[in-house]
Amino acid sequence: MAKRDYYELLGVGRDASEAEIKKAYRKKAMEHHPDRNAQDPKAEAHFKEINEAYDVLKDGQKKAAYDRFGHAAFENGGGAGARGFHGGGDFASAFSDVFEDLFGDFMGGAQGRTRRARGSDLRYNLRMSLDDAFHGKQATIDVPGSAACEVCEGTGAEGGAEPLTCPTCSGHGKVRAQQGFFTVERTCPTCGGRGQIIKNPCRGCGGSGVVRKDRTLNVNIPAGVETGTRIRLAGEGEAGLRGGPPGDLYIFIEVEAHPIFQRENQDLHCRIPVSMTTAALGGEIDAPTIDGGRTRVKVPAGVQSGKQLRLRGKGMPALRGATVGDLYIELAVETPVNLSHKQKELLRQFDEEGRDNSPETQDFFSRVKGFWDGMKGA
């Protein structure tokens, strides 16, 4: 039976790139794998044909020979066709390419590199006042963690000797085993995936290259931070194992509630009570500002509770920016309490003579009367 065209088997054109060929092979291999087509007696043979085609087309020299001479280029022991994938040698090579393409990063990336474990990242929660968030501050924090062992200089070996290449995986950190049609890659059991072994472990750190060590750091907290702000200090986390790079330290900010101001992004809000007479006649009040100062604010005559006055540029600074928020003052008209007999009489007299001084009250009860009248007629 004549062999099928390799390009036809993979479903690609003769001008297909190496990436397109690999992509097509991966799709076909997954689609026609015998384990997924157990009811098809021809599945295994077709699967071998697909792998044979890919083994030729992935190789530049074999592909050029096939493009020129077709299947005749590999007859009489000249190539993949003669070997016929008995024993799985060529299939393992072909499928290994796709296996690494699919799982290479997950399993540890490219081979031949010594794997030095990066240190863990650390988190530090820092509480601070709104005043410090406004001005910025330098905070001193104590960070529990680890550091490179000074005895072995982080190598993990006695006397600072260099680690040896793992004889089991030759420094790859992974070992491969053939299981049927698949080449399975696992972490090397000898070196634990590091690619190196320590012949004489350091007594100071037990071969890890790191020791427990608390540190004190001075951290500059910029003005404008708010709850949830995250500050990253590169390289200030846990030390890496056996000379690996250190992790990072992340400082999470929590700004405490303020007794006077409420924050909303860059803006601040402040509720200020005003007397009934000031609200009625108008006047001025002193409004506090977050920088510790005060601002004279004019209260218009006849102001009602809930009225907001805006003070531009009196809010919080933007984090690493040039803009500043605003301060919103909410006026709360305060009802007088603990009145003397004379004050009560004056208020009663005012109430009798000042029926036209409360237009909002009159409007409301006028609408209420219309509502009640409507209910009676229903």
- For 71-117, the pLDDT digits (tens) are 777 765 444 443 333 333 344 444 544 444 444 444 444 344 445 67
CATH label of the domain that carries residue 217: 2.60.260.20
Query: Are 23 and 58 found together in one domain?
Result: yes
Q: Are residues 297 and 370 in the same domain?
A: no
Bridging pattern class, strands 196-197 and 146-148: unpaired
- Consult the annotation and say whether 166 binds a ligand: yes
Among 153-157, 273-277, 307-311, the range scoring the smallest mean pLDDT is 153-157
- Is residue 305 domain-resident? yes
Domain end position, chosen among 73, 103, 133: 103
Whether residue 312 is found in the same domain as residue 347: no
User: Range with the lowest mean pLDDT among 25-34, 133-142, 191-200, 257-266?
Assistant: 191-200
Last residue of a domain, one of 232, 255, 278: 255
Residue 169 located in a structural domain: no
Domain membership of residue 55 (yes or no) is yes
Q: Which residue has the higher pLDDT, 202 or 92?
A: 202
- Which residue spans within 133-229 are E strands per DSSP? 137-143, 146-148, 164-165, 174-179, 182-187, 196-197, 210-212, 215-221
pLDDT(361) > 90: no
pLDDT value of residue 304: 92
**Distance from C-alpha of 113 to C-alpha of 277, rounded to nearest angstrom:** 81
Query: pLDDT tens, 308-346?
Result: 999 999 999 999 888 999 999 999 999 999 999 999 999
Residue 62, pLDDT score? 84
> Do the beta carbons of residue 178 and residue 99 sit within 8 Å?
no
Say if residue 30 is in the same domain as residue 99.
yes
Do residue 137 and residue 203 come from a single domain? Answer: yes
Statement to judge: residues 14 and 48 lie in one domain: yes
> What is the residue type of 187?
T
| Average pLDDT rounded to a whole number, residues 124-146 | 92
Average of per-residue pLDDT across 8-37: 86
Same domain, 131 and 207: yes
Residue 116 within any structural domain of the chain: no
Burial of 97 (0-12, 13-18, 19+ CB in 10 A): middle
239 plus 323 within the same structural domain: no
**pLDDT confidence band for 58 (50 / 70 / 90):** confident
**Is there a single domain that holds both residue 153 and residue 276?**
no
Is pLDDT above 80 for 358?
no
- CATH number, domain at 28? 1.10.287.110
Co-location of 51 and 10 in the same domain: yes
Strand order in the sheet with 267-275: 262-264, 267-275, 327-334, 308-311
In a domain, 180, yes or no: no
Q: Does the residue 117 lie in any domain?
A: no
In the chain, how many domains are there? 4
Pick from 6-15, 136-145, 149-158, 280-289 the range whose average pLDDT is largest.
Answer: 280-289
In a domain, 368, yes or no: yes
Residue 21 within a domain: yes
Q: Is 202 annotated as a binding residue?
A: yes
Q: Does 270 appear as a known binding residue?
A: no
- Show the domain range for 154: 122-163+198-255
Mean local confidence (pLDDT), 118-130 = 91
